[in-house]
């Protein structure tokens, strides 16, 4: 996937570092400095490459720095599950194909900013430059992986005086931006998607169950500008339909997509409670643009203009 050279989207989230829910009272706490030190140590020892998705993808972080208010990272990622690329010459209309060798893959990189000081709930503001494969959950998975090494565990003595080891838990939640009600005032209601998941249990050999995930989907296409009253009517029907949609023990979800006036389509999960859907919110995404020289798909070092623009986004984020 080719990236635009003159702009990027930046997703805004909140990072929490905590102990596991069932950790005993004597479990030691982890903080942001522990994370940064572990990342640096992995890099120094050459143990900072994470292979995943059946070894078809790789993620790593070589660049770690800090300013007065933020820790700055560049996260790199590669993906072998891609094709080559084709370029079209706009004057001659001729196409130039570039094939991919067997063990090659795409290579992207993105800036990540983490605010040093936590908010009143103990969470740190985090901003992630969006490129293919890098998003809130993939960054969380990478931070979790960093501590999957005994070197970065902390120990404490239990009630019997025995040493117990602990690792932190990472949570990254999207920072909530405008509500669906606000988005609909200038945007277009694209569609509403219903998804249910269930497990299909069949008897297998040796009485071991074979579990297969079954996914059911339904979609209401709207693609129209709607008034608030029309939206309330639609979402009331959403609640009625959802009660009947694959009712059972499996997980069920509803997603709403709205196309903003700048062309971006925002998708968010909503809870099925009638016109209260209008008060639910999207994860904040902000665009940063006007880069000279143009942005490449990957970085050798920090782009200070990108850092400055991301800091400006952070300044406009509420608590």
pLDDT band at residue 248, thresholds of 50, 70 and 90?
A: low
> Residue 39 — very low, low, confident or very high, per pLDDT cuts 50/70/90?
very high
Identify the band that residue 272 occupies on the pLDDT scale cut at 50, 70 and 90. confident
Q: Which 3 state secondary structure label does DSSP give 120?
A: coil
Question: pLDDT band at residue 109, thresholds of 50, 70 and 90?
Answer: very high
Indicate if the pLDDT at residue 93 is higher than 60. Answer: yes
Res 253: pLDDT:
84
Taking the complete model, does pTM exceed 0.85, yes or no?
no
Q: Check whether 266 has a pLDDT greater than 90.
A: no
Q: CA-CA distance, 281 to 185, in Å (whole number)?
A: 14
Least confident of 240-249, 253-262, 283-292: 240-249
| For helices 136-146 and 32-44, angle between their N-to-C axes, nearest 10 degrees | 70
Task: For 200-211, write each residue's pLDDT tens digit.
Answer: 545 444 444 454
Confidence of residue 318 (pLDDT cuts 50, 70, 90): low
- Residues 278-291: what's their mean pLDDT? 89
Can you give the pLDDT at residue 200?
A: 55
DSSP 10-34: EEEEEEEEE--TT--TTPPP--HHH
């Amino acid at each position: 996937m080719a990236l635009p050279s003159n702009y990027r989207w930046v997703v805004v989230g909140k990072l929490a570092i905590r102990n596991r829910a069932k950790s005993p009272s004597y479990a030691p706490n982890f903080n942001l400095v522990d994370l940064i030190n572990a990342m640096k140590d992995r890099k120094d020892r050459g143990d900072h490459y994470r292979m995943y998705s059946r070894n078809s993808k790789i993620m790593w972080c070589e660049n770690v720095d800090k300013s007065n208010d933020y820790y700055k990272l560049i996260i790199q990622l590669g993906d072998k599950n891609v094709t080559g690329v084709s370029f079209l010459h706009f004057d001659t209309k001729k196409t130039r194909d570039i094939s991919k060798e067997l063990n090659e893959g795409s290579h992207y990189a993105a800036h990540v900013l983490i605010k040093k000081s936590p908010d009143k709930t103990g969470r740190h503001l985090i901003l992630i430059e969006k490129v293919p494969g890098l998003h809130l959950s993939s960054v969380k998975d990478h931070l979790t992986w960093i501590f999957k090494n005994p070197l970065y565990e902390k120990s404490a003595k239990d009630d019997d005086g025995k040493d117990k080891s602990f690792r932190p838990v990472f949570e990254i939640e999207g920072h909530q931006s405008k509500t669906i009600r606000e988005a609909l005032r200038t945007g277009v209601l694209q569609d509403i998607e219903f998804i249910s998941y269930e497990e299909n249990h069949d008897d297998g050999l040796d009485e071991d169950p074979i579990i297969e995930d079954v996914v059911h989907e339904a979609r209401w296409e709207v693609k129209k500008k709607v008034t608030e009253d029309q939206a309330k009517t639609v979402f009331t029907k959403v609640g009625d339909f959802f009660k009947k949609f694959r009712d059972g023990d499996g997980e069920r979800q509803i997603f709403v997509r709205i196309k903003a006036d700048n062309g971006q389509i925002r998708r968010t999960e909503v809870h099925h409670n009638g016109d209260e859907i209008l008060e639910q919110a999207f994860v904040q995404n902000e665009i940063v643009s006007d880069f000279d020289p143009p942005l490449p798909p990957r970085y050798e070092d920090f782009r200070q203009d990108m850092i400055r623009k991301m800091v400006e986004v952070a300044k406009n984020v509420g608590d």
